Amino acid sequence: MNFLTLFAIYVAVVLMCMILVCRYSGHQDNPFNILFSCIAKVFAPVTPKWLQRFSQWSMHRLFHQRNNMFVYLHILLEAAVYGEFTYEIFGFCRELDTSLTSLSVPYILLAIKTFFFYLCIKKDPGTVTKKNVSSQLHIYPYDKRLFHPGISCPTCQLIKPARSKHCRVCNRCVQRFDHHCIWVNNCIGAHNTRYFLLYLLSLCAMAGDIALLTTDMLLHAVLRTGLLGASYMDEYGQRHPAGPLFVVQHLFLTFPRIVFMLGFLVFVFFLLAGYALFHFFLALVNQTSNEWFKNQGYTCQHCHPSLTANHLCSTPPSHSRRFYYSRGLLQNLGEIFFPRQPVWKKDT
């Protein structure tokens, strides 16, 4: 298999990952959703009905019903990365006199990440039930903008506490609902947001550390072979110094699995780092991603009685109204790691 073929496969895999992430990110207005819709309309007349039904059923099963498919995929990808790291990179780094302490960090991070991953899966996010709804109604005040008193969930038939939302995937109302994460097969809510943030942080650290060790190993491999000072002769008999493209081609052909793994780790690291920064920002301002995206298209139904529910207010919401639940950085973080407890009202 030549370099161009390997590189084409590599680019195709990375692009496919990007497309799938954007396609199923939950945002309907991204370019890939528009592209998929156009392609579906073009091929719909020539696609068998059974194939269309199967595709719709499988997508609904994967992304709109609870299942452990992505949990298993998460574990499989992790096992592949650590298997390659242990099988090839660990031994090579030992030959380079890399300390055992440095090489043990990825395994320590794996243990920490697995612990928080397990808690994200098993911890109840804060389900609203008939027994606790009366107490949860008093945890947060209604901002009367995104959350209004007296509104019932049409599915659960319960009064919705402020900042709660019904998850269609889990079929339950969740206190301080953030989002449903398919990778942990659970909602992220009041009681497991802290574990989710620590899970993201440890996952980023794990990917970044393995990527750094792998990059260091490949740099030493290049220096050992003397490729930076090498030269090659073209078809006209002229000698040229080996440039970066020649070095990259050599690494692709010599260490194809390691280079593929490194590219995957770099892609995952930057993707997760951006995602983690977004969620840490939300934690600092005491806002959920559900509230954030609602604020982006805030529907003002009080400007005029004749306005429809799809009317967007032309006046942007004030900072104080948008960050209604913010109580300062320390208190906001404290609320994440020490969630508010239900307030029981005494009967008078």
pLDDT(319) > 70: no
Tell me the pTM.
Answer: 0.81
pLDDT score of 279: 95
pLDDT(189) > 90: yes
Mean pLDDT of the chain: 81
The proportion of the chain whose per-residue pLDDT surpasses 90, expressed as a percent, equals 48
Provide the pairing of β-strand 165-167 with 172-174: antiparallel
pLDDT(73) > 60: yes
Helix (H) and strand (E) counts for the chain?
A: 13, 6
Of these residues, 120, 173, 181, 204, which one is catalytic?
181
Contact 327, 123 (CB under 8 A): no
Q: Which residue has the higher pLDDT, 301 or 239?
A: 239
Instruction: Point out the least confidently predicted range of 4-13, 264-273, 287-296.
Output: 4-13
pLDDT score of 259: 87
Could you give the count of Cα atoms lying within 13 Å of 305 in the half-sphere of its Cβ? Answer: 0
Distance CA 107, CA 125 (A): 28
Distance CA 78, CA 261 (A): 11
Contact 158, 148 (CB under 8 A): no
C-alpha of 140 from chain center: 27
C-alpha of 61 from chain center: 20
Q: Which helix (H) or strand (E) holds 82?
A: helix 69-84
Q: Domain limits of the chain?
A: 1-64
pLDDT(63) > 70: no
Helix (H, G, I), strand (E, B) or coil at 200: helix
Quick one: DSSP state of residue 138?
T
pLDDT(53) > 70: no
pLDDT(325) > 90: yes
Q: Is-catalytic flag, 181? A: yes
Distance CA 173, CA 189 (A): 10
